[in-house]
Amino acid sequence: MGFLQSQIVSYLSLLSLSHLLTLAGLLLVSLACHRLYLHPLANIPGPWFAAISPLFLYTICYLGVEGRVSLHYHQKYKTTVLRVAPDAVSISDGDSLHQVYLAGGGLPKDARYSNFRIEGHDTIFSAIDQEYRDRRAKAVLPLFAPARIQSAYEHDGVMAPLVDKFVARLVEEKSRPNAKVDILDLSSRLSIDILTAYLFHKVYGGLDEQSRHHDSTTGTTSKAKPRKYANKLSATPFVLAIVAFSRFSLLPNWLFTVIFSSLVGRVLADDEVQMSLRTVSNFLEGVVDRPDTNVDANGSGETYQARLQLAGVSRAETLVQCKGIVFAGADSTAVMLATILFHLVRQPDIHAQLRSEIATAGPTADPQSIPYLRAVIREGLRLGMANPTRLTRIVPPLGPSGLTIAQHTLPPGTKVGAAAYVFHHNPIVYPEPYEFRPERWLPDKSETPAAVQARRIRDRDSFAFGIGSRACLGRNLANHQLYIAVKEVVQSGVLEGAKTCKDSIEIIEWFNAEIKGHELEITW
């Protein structure tokens, strides 16, 4: 045995670096050939470089172009199932959405979602364990019932004053010399105020903030140096820091942890992010620690935090869950509201028609009963998109054949997902997909079989808030805010004579949609 070991050592010592590199190269070539020709996904169309390495997918995710690049390759290869990584596919076939997200509660989430944990805790969104998620989701779900939200607006005085304040801020800005306002920032202020007022029974105060970040720890306003977000909502640096980390979300958990650990200190070292995080944390700690007597007749809490704690969720986790809902709810709704207002300014004819129909319906009409307003909102949701990239799921062990989608067999372990960007920009379903055209959502009075089928496909292929049992919990609240805010803004006439400061909106396609530069200005 000693002789054999000595012979092996002698042989290895003779190997030069070039020999080792050659061996490594042969192994890589062998792996690439296996993935290209022998892998169970080898028959699925897609660019060859996506099939041999996940680096392609990681790169387009990091750059925020995953949706548009996937759409390009779906069209190039004329396929509804596209291979985007050695073990991952993108789908663009609406009939397959049921199999992935709805049948039997949908396929399970893959490990990627663990990268969205906050401060060591899973949130309702990031949880992979269905039982863990269901316990928390069921506790707060009654708060998002449409009837309860409607009552909060009409009778409880929760949302109406905030929408009025939002419109008043627009009117005030319009009256200033050289008027200019960032409708994305103003929408963020409204969204966080409505969400916190409704769910926590305490208003964050975004619409009342001064033009500089207020340091809630010292009670002073920092004037030491110009700040990038000096005139923006105080929660914005906190929100954008989380949004930016999602560019790494497709990485394996261990690699994400390494990158997160190396970057988090650098990100938090920025004094604006620190101040923002401190402000948000102080507000939410006050919410969670407040003696809460808001209990209904059934003994259930009337606030988000009370319902979680009554369900046995710890204080530390309740605080994290509140941070999660503030981030997910406020920012996404703001992006979609700003998108709608931007296009109404860009297209005065659409704005004029909408204003006319709102006036005809009367001030007391239910906004969702106004067909053209409904069409405008749906078109804004199509282009705004809370989550533009693939909502990934994993094929579980379903037997030796795996899962068959559009005549392609996906073996267990395959990561499969549909991207709202791909579906919402399909020119077959939505002609001129990059144009804001509300009329595409108006009912076709002919009711021919072709028209009925086209409407069914449009409805099926539109999922701005996700799809299935894991869709966004707050979608009813977001929808209600959009209908009310757009109606009140248009009714006020404040957008008359307005112009946009740029010609188009550029969406960054990270997991959460973000408008490039986080700014969308209009002027008069």
Q: Tell me the binding residues.
A: 472
Residue 493: which of 338, 354, 346 has the closest Cα? 354
CA distance 95 to 390: 16
CA distance 88 to 397: 16
Q: What is the CA radius of gyration of the chain?
A: 25
Phi, psi angle pair for 417, to nearest 5°: -165, 155
Binding-site residue numbers for heme are: 472
Return the axis-axis angle of helices 348-361 and 315-346, rounded to nearest 10°. 110
- Structure tokens that stand for 80 in this block: 């509804």
**Residue 320 in contact with residue 281, Cβ under 8 Å?**
no
Give how far Cα 481 sits from Cα of 190, 288, 369, Å.
9, 24, 15
CA distance 135 to 129: 10
Question: Is the torsion defined by CA of 284, 288, 292, 294 positive or negative?
Answer: positive
Q: Is 118 exposed, middle or buried (0-12, 13-18, 19+ CB in 10 A)?
A: middle
Beta bridge partners of 500: 522
E strand or H helix at 156, and its extent?
Answer: none
CA distance 44 to 513: 28
Q: What is the biggest distance separating any 2 CA atoms in the chain, rounded to whole angstroms?
A: 97
Any residues with CB less than 8 A from the CB of 502 and at least 6 apart, and which?
Answer: 520, 521
SS3 per-residue string spanning 3-45: HHHHHHHHHHHHCCHHHHHHHHHHHHHHHHHHHHHHCCCCCCC
Question: Is the torsion defined by CA of 353, 355, 360, 361 positive or negative?
Answer: positive
- The SS3 assignment for 214 reads strand
Phi, psi angle pair for 487, to nearest 5°: -60, -45
CA distance 424 to 442: 17
DSSP letters spanning 324-343: HHHHHHHHHHHHHHHHHHHH
CA distance 343 to 132: 41
CA distance 375 to 483: 11
